[in-house]
Structure formats: C-alpha cells, structure tokens
Amino acid sequence: MNMATDSAKAELVLDARNGTGESPVWHAAEQALYWVDIPARKLCRWEPASGQFASWLAPEMLACVAPIAGSGGWIAGAESGVFRLTPQAGGQLGFESLAPVAHAMPGMRFNDGRCDRQGRFLAGTMLMNMAAGASAGCVYSYQKESGLTQLLDGFITPNGMAFSPDGATMYLSDSHPSVQSVWAFDYDTQTGRPSNRRRFIDMNPLPGRPDGAAVDADGCYWICGNDAGLIHRFTPQGRLDRSLAVPVKKPAMCAFGGAGLDTLFVTSIRPEGVDLSDQPLAGGVFALSPGVRGLPEPVFSRFPLSL
C-alpha cells in the first residue's frame, strides 16, 4: 500500500510533551495506557474513558516496563538495573531493586524491552551518548530463578524488540544511524534463548530509523520510523506492507490497545534545542485505527509469587 494514500489518520490523545516517550503498554484490566518518559524519570498512565492522566517519579531514568502478573506493579529496565515499580498515592513510586547490571562502560542505561510470551523480561542496554557509536549494548533476560542473564552483545542502540504470536521468533533492531537494521532470531520458548540471527529488514533505504515495535494478530511487525514520522508494517516475510503517518518526526514506540486491541498507540520524542514550529505536538501520544488487531501484551510471570 502506498504510504501517501494510507487512510489511517493519527489522532492526538495527549499532548504529553515527553522528552522521550517510550514503552507504551496497554493494561487490559485497567483499560489504560502506561508508558515512560525517559529523561523525566516518569511512569505515566492515561485512561481513555475518563481522560485522566497520572504520573509517578522514579529516582533514576526508566526505559522500558511490563506489568507484573497479579501484583499491580511493574518490572522495569532503568539506568542501574532491573527494578520492581509500585505506583503509590501522591505521585510516589515504590522502587525495589531486582537485579543490578554490570554495564560494559560508564554512561549506559537500559533501553527498549518487554516480556516474551512465556513471561520472561528481556531488555537491551545502550550508551546514552549515541554519537560515540559504541557497540557496548547487550540484551539481557531477567527471571526470578536465574536472575539477570546476558543473551546477546555488540549493539549500539538495541531497539524494536517483539515476539511472533507463537513466541518462537524474536525481533530486534539497532536504531543507530550507522546500522538501521532489524534481525529475526529463532527463540527457544523453553529456555528463553535466541539463535540463528538473520537480517529481517534493512531499513537503510527506507524512511526512518527502526525504533520501538509491536506485532499484530496476523504476525506482522510494526516499527516506528524515527526521524520520518512513520510507522511501518512488515509481513512475517519482511516485506513492507504499509506505512502510517503521525504529525511528528520522531515516533518512538507503538503498542496495540483499546477494548478490542484495534487501536495503535504511538509515543514520541520532543527533542531539545531544535525548532519545533513544524511539529508542535512532538512528545505527544497518538492513536491510529489501522484496521487490524494486536495481541495482549505479555506480563512478567516468571515465579511471581517469590517477588
């Protein structure tokens, strides 16, 4: 489908003005959207039915979150490790360390991540100074029994993590301008180990760098085209199927939500020190109706009773 003729229209649902809005997650039980604003160190929540917005401040930057089964809390990749978050009254956020991370060098933090379909929490790390182009990023898995385990290394800006509907394929991108690729891995659902890495999408000839992603019920892979104001849909064979536009240059991550999981929510980035007159809604949260449904977001459920 031609990008210019796609009929899906982006609607601003919240003029959030996030510095870096990331990790949107639809919480089905609450019928609410959660996400993080990384530089602001905030966990955010918006409820479509009431329009109510709330946020909670963390002691360090949060990069990716996933709900913990049955607890009302969240697991998060932050600056110094993996934490359990507990939203409290008055904008306070319980912040309990689950596993510190031994970064390869100073100035790193977690970036994109989510749970696999078996309930393990996976997330990648990056050097915050992207201009350095350091391949110091790693991908880790966390589960209570084995703690934090390194799965992959050699990334500059690991991003775009998602899993096929059956959980047997893991997708992962590197959004750094010098890489701009998405890989697919065979994913062992029993052990939680990826293997057989192969190029899934070369984003270099396409508009936008590969940022955060989601998979729909048809197994197609949606990824934000950062810098191009687009969200691309690729078939399981890696063919570009369609592209949807948002009125900002830097969409960061997308997630399916709404009562029917048929709304595609998109968070975005409001860069500092640049003229935003052509994109005043930068940092906002948007919604599109793409005509397909998503999948329920997996929750962290690896031995939750011991948390």
| Residues acting as catalytic residues | 211
**Sequential DSSP letters for the chain:** --GGG-----EEEE----SBEEEEEEETTTTEEEEEETTTTEEEEEETTTTEEEEEE-SS-EEEEEEBTTTS-EEEEESSEEEEEEE-GGG-EEEEEEEE---SSSSEEEEEEEE-TTS-EEEEEEES-GGG----EEEEEEETTTEEEEEEEEESSEEEEEE-TTS-EEEEEE-STTT-EEEEEEEETTTTEEEEEEEEEE-TTSSSEEEEEEEBTTS-EEEEEETTTEEEEE-TTS-EEEEEE-SSS-EEEEEEESTTS-EEEEEEB--TTS--TT-TTTT-EEEE--SS-B-PPP-B-SSGGG-
